[in-house]
């Protein structure tokens, strides 16, 4: 093995160490917290698990020569021993000390080669204080003495262990032959293989002890039996020569397996270190692997092995063991012979001091599968590569499909083959994507610690509830999510949760609760952070924003509670009265927002005063593959990430109320009462728009320049009636329906060229419409980053390769808004102006109402029977065809705006003539009601007129009617919506 190779292997091993250490630290932390919680009744399992983890860290550190890491984990181990032995119980302060040490370990692990330079004396001292403070003075000193200062001594001890006679094996026994020297005797032990194996698997060291019978018996009433009993308390006594003791020597010999370090043993058992020998794990393993027939020469083989260590190598089949073994041998030689050869160079760059320890056998300990690990470590880079390749394979499949489609048609037997391939490829794609996914628990699990530390620091009481930790997210997203979430949780605790006294005063439990919840919804992952604290005062936030000049008073007045609340995502806004160590500087939430947006996510905040705050984060499942809407302008196609798409609007040629207008030089669309700035993608990108001629099917250039010019204005004869009931964004397209009725537009074939497609995009809090030529399908696209040469193109966030192999650009909503220079502020002003005008109109309407005249809608059920409903009481009119009406039993339904709308036939509830059969079109009147919505069927909408609606009821007026009046010489029955709905509900119930 060349030096270079060795170096590589060391680097690789060290990388492994580091990730291993990190993982172990992560796994131990919750255990510590659990220990703290359980106080006296710490479960031994918990301690042992923590102990094992810390021990492994120590082992790895010792092996790599990371002394600081080793020393600190060693000190931690000491504390754990105390806890295990019941000599100490964890309280908050002790846990603090241990957690601090853990953090230091983490810092060391993060920069492993500099780890020896990380200052850790404070943590060490704290841990030592724990140990000494809780133990009998003498013993404490003893244990404390095991620290670094004693290192040379332990080194010596271990140097001797290296000279150990290793072992050979018979078929079920392993023969261990420690050489204590003539004085102490050289016993031979036959120990059961299985016992040794299980001891090794439990990460135990195996020692041979020589106990001085006389010396001990004088002091401690020593009997070999008692001694082996004592040994069994600390570990496992695998073998004792108690019964076969000869008179030749006054020493008893024991084989002892334990997880304790050699330096502990001297102290615990009171045996001088000369009398303790440790078997090298690798030697043991080699001996265990040895087939029985090879162990012919009992002693001879042993000596041979010892004298010539490489001799063993061919018998270790696992190359990993080889590495560890040769590394160990290097060390051994270096130590034994003080020979600085090539092998030393390997270690020199990472091991400054010469105080090298003979390796504890950690490599073997953690490479030995304790229970088979179902996971395998793979680099993200590799997975990314695989992702790309799979993406390509999918493209290749699609292309192949297209080109062999004809062939498949002609040879149907090929079809199942193709389909099978399809399924397999899709599955591969899915699985590879799955590989990048990690459970959210990965980041959520650090929060109990954060909440605990913080609540102690600011003397608040809070518990954290985590739900949905199994929800999986792309690794890169997860990593990006960690910091924002931490910030939010800290905010919850610092600003949200009140002090315990305050909480009790307001009748809440003293312990605040923070709830972290992750769940899937609509192909995205939602994460909510909820606290039951004091909530955020939206007014206060708004005031702050005004005082900082980010908002005008007028703007503020127009904002909803929620909008005000979400101002906290503006930079520099904090409602905290004092800036604390933890938060309150006001820089936080905007950074959170930026980070979340960078992940392609959204963040929102809602709060109820006195009851708590919820922060809601919505993020895509993966960054690499995103669902997108494909749109087209001219010959170009573009992808828009679904997360940016709020809705799609198609403006039909004959639709005068969704028309595009001009406000201050820019196109705007009035969408449900709000003004939406419109940007034309073709204009922005200077692409000649095209349209497909409806008759010839050819693609022709579209020469129309301005969107706003295309719409004819509303018919002058009929004044537009806008309904803004309670300020909500509704208007009734009564005129349109009337107009359509008059013009029989439904019969006229519409030319698709005159339809306008608007994609309503969300860019942060702003919403705008993007006018495109074509809307294609939704597609899952693989995002390819942009090269440096086109990075500065504001409007694009990436590129992707479409199913046909062509490249399409991914549009960036925020970039387009910025490029187009959309001035959302001006529009808001315009909107305000219009709203004011509308309010004027409304007050005028109110005035009219005083004269009891208001607009009513007149319609037919059966022809020649006229009905009227107050227009103000109608929320919507819908035109539909009879075949769109679904029937369940006698009840009819219409699928409307994503829900099911029950329909009312007047003749079923009222004494009126039935709706004529065989109508081509039906109108559905949807009354405004606080109850479950229902639609009233009608055959014809006639007109809207201003009429006196204060019609008098008389004795003949049946339920469901308000009364009757003559309008335009026709007898019109005014309906009473509420009574009608009553009747409808009765009818349903009676069925």
* Binding region for other proteins (CB under 8 A): 388-389, 391-392, 395, 636, 684-687, 784, 787-790, 792-796, 799, 801, 805-809, 819
**Nearest-approach distance from CB 392 to other proteins, in angstroms:** 3
CB 395 → other proteins: shortest distance, Å?
A: 7
State the pairing for strand pair 756-763/251-258: unpaired
Q: Report the distance separating Cα 198 and Cα 468, nearest Å.
A: 37
- Residue 257's SS3 state is strand
Give the residue carrying structure tokens 């960036």: 812
- β-pair partners for 211: 252
Provide, rounded to whole angstroms, the least separation between the CB of residue 781 and other proteins: 12
Specify whether the CB–CB gap between 808 and 637 falls below 8 A.
yes
Nearer to other proteins by Cβ, of 795 and 934: the residue is: 795
- Per DSSP, 496 falls in state I
Helices (H), 111-259: 121-134, 137-144, 151-162, 193-201, 213-220, 224-234
Shortest separation between residue 685's beta carbon and other proteins, angstroms: 4
Residue 434 CB, shortest distance to other proteins, in Å, is 20
| C-alpha to C-alpha distances, 514 to 483, 496, 519, 955, nearest whole angstrom | 17, 9, 16, 62
Residues 6+ apart with CB under 8 A from 309: 329, 332
Residue 265 CA to residue 190 CA, distance in Å, equals 22
Q: Which of 92, 89, 218, 70 lies closest to 146, judged by CA?
A: 70
End-to-end, the C-alpha distance of the chain in Å comes to 89
Question: Minimal distance in Å, beta carbon 567 to other proteins?
Answer: 32
Closest distance to other proteins from the beta carbon of 84 (Å): 56
d(CA 752, CA 579): 60
Nearer to other proteins, 782 or 942 (CB): 782
Q: 139 or 801, CB closer to other proteins?
A: 801
**Cα–Cα distance between 421 and 347 in angstroms, integer?**
51
CB of 819 to other proteins, least distance (A): 7
Nearest one of 69, 368, 335 to 204, comparing CA atoms: 368
In the complex, the smallest distance separating the C-beta of residue 673 from other proteins, rounded to whole angstroms, is 34
Count CA within 13 A, CB hemisphere, residue 438.
Answer: 16
Nearest residue (CB) to other proteins, 119 versus 790:
790
Residue 203 or 816: the one with the smaller Cβ distance to other proteins is 816
Beta partners for residue 943, in sequence order = 858
Nearer to other proteins, 200 or 394 (CB): 394
Nearer to other proteins, 779 or 979 (CB): 779
Of 687 and 814, the one with the shorter C-beta distance to other proteins is: 687
* Of residues 402, 320, 336, the one with CA closest to residue 368: 320
Q: Which is nearer to other proteins, 730 or 819 (CB)?
A: 819
Return the number of the residue (393 or 576) whose C-beta is nearest other proteins: 393
**Nearest approach, Cβ of 784 to other proteins (angstroms)?**
5
Query: 819: exposed, middle or buried (C-beta count within 10 Å: 0-12, 13-18, 19+)?
Result: middle
SS3 (DSSP) at 159: helix
Closer to other proteins by CB, 484 or 798: give it.
798
CA 129 to chain centre: 40
Q: Classify the phi-psi angles of 338: left when phi > 0, otherwise alpha if psi is within -120 to 50, otherwise beta.
A: left
User: DSSP letter at 919?
Assistant: -
Q: Nearer Cβ to other proteins, position 556 or 801?
A: 801
Cβ of residue 688: shortest distance to other proteins, in angstroms?
A: 12
Pairing label, strands 774-784, 796-801: antiparallel
Nearest CB to other proteins, comparing residues 264 and 796: 796
Residue 806 Cβ vs other proteins, minimum distance, rounded to whole Å: 6
Closest approach of Cβ 808 to other proteins, in Å? 6
CA dihedral (376, 377, 380, 383) positive or negative: negative
Q: Which of 112, 75, 113 is nearest to 97 (CA)?
A: 75
């Amino acid at each position: 093995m060349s030096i270079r190779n060795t170096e590589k292997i060391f680097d690789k091993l060290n990388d492994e160490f580091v990730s291993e250490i990190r993982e172990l630290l992560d796994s131990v932390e919750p255990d510590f917290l659990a220990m703290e919680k359980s106080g006296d009744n710490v479960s031994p399992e918990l301690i042992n698990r923590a102990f094992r983890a810390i021990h492994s860290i120590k082992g790895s550190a010792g092996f790599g020569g990371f002394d600081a890491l080793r020393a600190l984990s060693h000190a931690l181990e000491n504390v754990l021993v105390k806890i295990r032995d019941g000599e100490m119980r964890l309280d908050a302060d002790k846990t603090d000390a241990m957690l601090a040490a853990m953090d230091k370990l983490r810092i060391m692990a993060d920069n492993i080669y500099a780890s020896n330079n990380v200052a850790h004396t404070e943590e060490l001292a704290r841990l030592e204080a724990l140990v000494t403070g809780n133990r009998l003075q003498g013993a404490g000193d003893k244990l404390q003495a095991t620290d670094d200062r004693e290192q040379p001594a332990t080194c010596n001890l271990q140097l001797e262990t290296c000279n150990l006679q290793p072992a050979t094996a018979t078929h079920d026994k392993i023969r261990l032959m420690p050489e204590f020297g003539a004085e102490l005797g050289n016993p031979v032990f036959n120990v059961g293989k299985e016992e040794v194996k299980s001891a090794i698997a439990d990460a135990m060291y195996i020692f041979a002890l020589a106990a001085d019978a006389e010396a001990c018996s004088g002091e401690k009433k020593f009997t070999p039996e008692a001694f082996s009993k004592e040994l069994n308390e600390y570990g496992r006594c695998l073998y004792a020569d108690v019964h076969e003791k000869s008179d030749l020597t006054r020493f008893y010999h024991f084989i002892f397996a334990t997880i304790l370090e050699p330096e502990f043993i001297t102290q615990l058992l009171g045996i001088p270190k000369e009398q303790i020998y440790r078997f090298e794990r690798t030697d043991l393993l080699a001996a265990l692997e040895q087939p029985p027939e090879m162990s012919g020469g009992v002693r001879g083989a042993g000596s041979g092995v010892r004298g010539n260590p490489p001799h063993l190598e061919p018998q270790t089949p696992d190359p990993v063991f080889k590495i560890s073994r040769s590394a160990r041998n290097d060390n051994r030689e270096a130590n034994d012979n003080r020979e600085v050869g090539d092998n030393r160079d390997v270690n020199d760059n990472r091991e400054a001091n010469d105080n090298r320890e003979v390796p504890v056998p950690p490599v073997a300990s953690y490479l030995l599968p304790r229970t088979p690990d179902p996971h395998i470590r793979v680099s993200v880079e590799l997975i990314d590569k695989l992702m790309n390749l799979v993406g390509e394979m999918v493209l290749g499949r699609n292309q192949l499909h297209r080109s062999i489609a004809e062939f498949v048609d002609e040879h149907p037997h090929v079809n199942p083959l193709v389909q099978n391939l399809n399924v397999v490829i899709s599955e591969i794609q899915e699985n590879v994507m799955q590989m990048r996914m990690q459970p959210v628990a990965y980041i959520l699990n650090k929060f109990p610690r954060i909440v605990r530390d913080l609540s102690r620091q600011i003397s608040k009481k809070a518990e954290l509830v985590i739900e949905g930790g199994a929800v999986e997210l792309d690794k890169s997203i997860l990593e990006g999510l960690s910091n924002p979430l931490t910030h939010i949780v800290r905010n919850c605790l610092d600003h949200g949760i009140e002090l315990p006294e305050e909480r009790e005063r307001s009748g809440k439990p003293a312990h605040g609760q923070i709830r972290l919840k992750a769940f899937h919804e609509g192909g995205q992952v939602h994460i909510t952070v909820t606290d039951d604290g004091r909530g955020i005062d939206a007014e206060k936030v708004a005031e702050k924003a005004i005082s900082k000049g980010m908002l005008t008073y007028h703007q503020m007045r127009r904002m909803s509670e929620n909008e005000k609340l979400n101002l906290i995502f503006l930079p520099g806004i904090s409602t905290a009265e004092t800036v604390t160590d933890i938060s309150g500087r006001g820089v936080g939430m905007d950074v959170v927002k930026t980070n979340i947006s960078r992940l392609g996510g959204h963040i929102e905040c809602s709060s109820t005063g006195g009851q708590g705050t919820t922060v809601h984060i919505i993020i895509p499942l993966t960054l690499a593959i995103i669902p997108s809407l494909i749109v087209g302008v001219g010959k170009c196609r573009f992808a828009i990430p679904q997360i940016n798409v709020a809705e799609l609007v198609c403006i039909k040629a004959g639709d005068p109320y969704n028309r595009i207008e001009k406000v201050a030089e820019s196109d705007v669309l009035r969408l449900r009462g709000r003004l939406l700035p419109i940007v034309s993608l073709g204009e922005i990108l200077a692409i000649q728009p095209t349209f497909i001629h409806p008759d010839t099917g050819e693609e022709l250039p579209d020469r129309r320049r301005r969107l706003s010019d295309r719409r004819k204005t509303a018919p002058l004869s009929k004044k537009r009636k806008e309904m803004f009931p309670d300020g909500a964004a509704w208007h009734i397209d009564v005129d349109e329906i009337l107009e359509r009725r008059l013009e029989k537009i439904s019969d006229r074939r519409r030319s698709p060229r005159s339809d306008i497609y608007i994609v309503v995009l969300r860019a942060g809090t702003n919403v705008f419409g993007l006018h495109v030529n074509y809307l294609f399908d939704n597609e899952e696209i693989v995002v390819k980053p942009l090269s440096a040469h086109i990075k500065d193109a504001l409007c694009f966030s990436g590129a992707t390769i479409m199913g046909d192999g062509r490249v399409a650009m991914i549009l960036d909503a925020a970039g387009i808004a910025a490029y187009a220079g959309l001035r959302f502020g001006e529009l808001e002003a315009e909107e305000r102006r219009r709203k004011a005008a509308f309010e004027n109109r409304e007050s005028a309407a109110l005035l009219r109402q005083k004269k009891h005249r208001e607009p009513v809608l007149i319609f037919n059920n059966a022809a020649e029977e006229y009905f009227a409903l107050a227009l103000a009481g109608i929320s919507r009119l819908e035109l539909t065809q009879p075949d769109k009406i679904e029937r369940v039993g006698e009840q009819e339904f219409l699928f409307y705006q994503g829900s099911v709308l029950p329909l009312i036939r007047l003749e079923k509830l009222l004494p009126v003539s039935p709706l004529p059969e065989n109508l081509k079109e039906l109108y559905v009147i949807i009354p405004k009601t606080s109850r479950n919505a229902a639609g009233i069927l009608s055959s014809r909408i006639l007109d809207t007129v201003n009429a006196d609606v204060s019609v008098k009821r008389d004795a003949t007026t049946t339920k469901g009617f308000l009364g009757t009046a003559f309008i335009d010489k026709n007898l019109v029955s005014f309906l009473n919506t509420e009574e009608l709905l009553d009747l409808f509900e009765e009818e349903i119930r009676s069925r």
